[in-house]
Structure 1
Amino acid sequence: MAKIEIYTRPGCGYCTHAKRLLTNKGLDYVEYDVYENPMYIQELQQRTTGRTYPQIFIEELSVGGFTELLENEQFNLLKK
């Protein structure tokens, strides 16, 4: 199973949609809430130039946000 990581912030509708999509696909992920733990912001800045939420990584590679995750799902790239 692919290692999936998602950086989120409270109140982010796209974050909620991304987590729901992953859960509905039966995929496990690690969530990093940047408000609960601000050190994740610095970590995120070192990993990607993306500045919107969510920021999603699959196998250490930046996928982007919810829109890009949805595109990957439509092309069946998200597999268990």
Structure 2
Amino acid sequence: MSDVESPITLYTSASCGYCVAAKNFLKSRGLAWKEVRIDLDPAERERMVARARRTSVPQIFIGETHVGGYDDMMALHRAGGLAPLLEQHGLKDGAA
């Protein structure tokens, strides 16, 4: 789903279990995302660090809102904050 026009951006690398978990979660909700592989493009890694102020992956953005990593996204979801954020960007949580 890496070439999809979506307000959801995932910065990932190939050998990242949390990246896989984040993609599986989004897929289970019927959501598409744009995937940016920082292990293939050092310039994208620099951009991610500048945006997120973090060096670990995944880094997840919905629009310009930095959600954080996988654990952050799951905490936001459990707290009821993910669905409203998605709705602000015209997305519907298919599993909600």
Give the structure 2 partner of residue 49 of structure 1. Answer: 53
Q: Secondary structure at the match of 2:81?
A: coil
Moved more, 19-28 or 2-11: 2-11
Higher relative contact order (CA 8 A, sep 6+): 1
Task: Indicate the RMSD between aligned Cα atoms, in angstroms.
Answer: 1.5
Q: Secondary structure at the match of 2:41?
A: coil
Q: TM-score, normalised by structure 1?
A: 0.88
Give the structure 2 partner of residue 40 of structure 1. Answer: 44
Q: TM-score, normalised by structure 2?
A: 0.74
Aligned runs of 1:1-80 on 2, under 5 Å?
3-79=7-83, 80=92
- One-letter amino acid matched to 1:26: G
Q: Secondary structure at the match of 2:67?
A: strand
5+ residue gaps, structure 1: none
CA shift for structure 1 position 26: 0.6
- Partners of 1:5 and 1:70 lie apart in 2 by 16
5+ residue gaps, structure 2: 1-5, 84-91
Aligned length, in residue pairs: 79
Q: 1:1-36: per-residue Cα shift (whole Å, max 9, x none)?
A: x71101001110000000100011011110000112
Identity between Structure 1 and Structure 2 (%): 33
Deviating runs (4+, > 4 A) in structure 1?
A: none
Give the structure 1 partner of residue 86 of structure 2. Answer: none
